Amino acid sequence: MKKILIIASLALCCSLLASCEDFLDTKKYGAKTDWETQEDVEKALVALFSFNTNDSEGVTGRGITWFECCSDDMTVGRPQGEAEDIRNFRMSPSNGRDVKNNWKIMYEVNAKANNIIKVVPTMNLDNAFKTKATGTAYFFRGFAMLMVTPYYNKTSQAGLVAHFTAMAEAGGIPVIVYNVPSRTGLNIAPETALELSKHPLINGIKEASGNISQVAKIAALCGDELNIYSGNDDQVVPLLALGGKGVISVVSNVAPELVHNCCQAFFDGDTAKARDLQLEMLPLSDALFCEVNPIPIKYAMNLLGWEAGECRLPLVEPSEAHQAQIENTLRAAGLIQE
C-alpha cells in the first residue's frame, strides 16, 4: 500500500511539472528563490520531484531508484537490476550510469530543498503551510555535513568549538567533524572533541590524524557521545578496535566490497578475517596515496572507465612512475582485467 501511495504521489507531482517550468533549473541547481505566494512555494516543492522525468525509464523507474536511497523496504521482493548491483557492490562502468546521474540529481534536489528551508520561513504565509513545506524540504535535504577544520586562518581549540558550534546550528543537521592536520595544519585535540560531543548536532569525527594514541584518548573521553570514523584506509581495523563505527574511505571508490567486508567481519566478531582484509587493502591504500589525494584516485577511476575527468589546478596528473604503480596495483587486485 505504501509503495502504491508513493508511486501515485510521484505521478501526481509529475503531472504538475508542466505548470512549474520556471522552477526547474532556471539557474543551475535550482537557485531561483524569488517566491512571493503560496502557489510559488508549491511549485518549488513539486520541483523537488523533477528527477522523476530525467530519463526514459519513467516515473516509477526513477522513483524506485531514488526512494531506494531513503527506504530499502520500498522495493523488497522486486527485481532490482542495477539497484541490486549497487547494493551488493557489483558496480562497474557498464552499470554505473544510474549512480552517476543520481548523484547529480541528488545534489540539485538538495540545493532546491535548502532554498526552500532558507526562504519559506521568512515569507508571510500560513504557519501550518510553512511547517509542511519546510518539513518536505528537510526530507529531501542532505542528512549530515562533513566539516573540516579551518585551514590557513588557523584558530585556537576554543575557536574550533565556536566555529563548529556555529556551523552546526546554522545548518540544523548532524555534523561529522573532520580532523586531518596533515592538510590543514590544525589538530582537533581530544579535549576539544569532548567539548564538541556535548552539542546535540555534533555526533561524529572523521579521524585522519594517523595518531592512534590520540584516537584512543578521544574514545576514552567521549565514549558513545561521539562516533569515530577512520579517515585513513590503512588504519580501519585499529580504529574499529577502539570503538570506531567505520571508515570514510578512498579505497572504497575502487574496491567497495573489500572495504565493506573488512568492516563487516570486525562487526561480526571475526577479527582474524578483518585483519587479513585490512592487510589486503594496504597495497591499494599505498598506491592511492602515492601522491596527494585525490590525484591518484581520480587517475585510478579513469583507468577503470568511470570518466572521473582531470584534476583541477593546482592538482595535476600523477608522475609516470606513480601511474605505473597505480595501474599495477589495480591489476594485482583483480580490478583491471584484460
Alpha carbon separation from 97 to 87, 232, 289 (Å, rounded) = 15, 28, 27
For residue 248, the tally of other CB atoms under 10 A from its CB is 17
Q: Measure the CA–CA gap between 168 and 160, rounded to whole angstroms.
A: 12
Written as one letter, the residue type at 156 is S
Which residue among 206, 229, 298, 299 is the active-site one? 206
Q: Measure the CA–CA gap between 266 and 240, rounded to whole angstroms.
A: 8
Catalytic residue flag (residue 206): yes
Alpha carbon separation from 151 to 61, 156, 205, 293, 309 (Å, rounded) = 43, 12, 17, 17, 26
All 3 cell numbers of residue 113?
530543498
Give, to the nearest 10 degrees, the angle between helix 2-15 and helix 58-70: 120
Written as one letter, the residue type at 19 is S
Q: Measure the CA–CA gap between 109 and 136, rounded to whole angstroms.
A: 12
Catalytic residue flag (residue 217): no
CB 259 within 8 A of CB 236: yes
For residue 2, the tally of other CB atoms under 10 A from its CB is 9
Which residue among 112, 130, 178, 299 is the active-site one? 178
Q: What is the dihedral of CA 88, 93, 95, 98, to 10 degrees?
A: 100
All 3 cell numbers of residue 214?
590520540
Q: Would you please indicate which residues are annotated as catalytic (active-site) residues?
A: 178, 206
